[in-house]
Amino acid sequence: MYSDKVMDHFMNPRNVGEIENADGIGEVGNPKCGDIMRIYLDVEDNIIKDVKFKTFGCGAAIASSSMATELIKGKTLEEAWRLTNKAVAEALGGLPAIKMHCSVLAEGAIHKAINDYRIKHGLEPWKDDKNYDDDHHDIGE
């Protein structure tokens, strides 16, 4: 079902944990649907110095969190904002169609964490056109 990359990131997730007094925190998902993703950012000079996550969810959700945090670590906030769920899924060697929403959650959690940081710093939040807490998973096929 899952690629080796997904299994690796699920079995050995990178960046699990929390950051005390994080500069930005973003949480998306819904316990009803079986997944919640929370991302903590440590930002310095517009660069993501550190990132941690906590995730309640399936293997793909945990792997997506792990991969997404890896992909934005050391990046500028603008770069991190531009990380798409597709890029996360691709970096994982693909996700089953019914699990694509997990990568969407990762994109959403990052966006929320970035905007949390911007709001805390008195900046205008960037506009997001998706609602990541939606009950309705996007199921392929």
For other proteins, the binding residues (CB under 8 A) are: 1-2, 7, 10-11, 13, 16, 18, 27, 31-38, 54-59, 61-62, 98, 135-137, 139, 141
Smallest separation, CB 124 to other proteins (Å): 27
**Residues 26 and 114: beta-carbon distance below 8 Å:** yes
- Strand positions, DSSP E, the chain: 24-30, 35-44, 47-56
Query: Does residue 58 have an active-site annotation?
Result: no
Spatial contact of 48 and 77, defined as CB atoms under 8 Å apart:
yes
Q: CA distances (Å), 69 to each of 6, 113, 120, in order?
A: 14, 12, 21
Closest distance of CB 46 from other proteins, Å: 26
* CB nearer to other proteins: pick between 13 and 108: 13
Residue 31 or 122: the one with the smaller Cβ distance to other proteins is 31
And the tokens for 81?
Answer: 């904002």
Q: To the nearest whole angstrom, how small is the minimum distance from the Cβ of residue 57 to other proteins?
A: 5
What is the C-alpha end-to-end distance of the chain, expressed in Å? 15
Given 7, 33, 58, 87, the catalytic residue: 33
The catalytically annotated residue of 39, 68, 102, 114 is 102
Catalytic residues: 33, 102
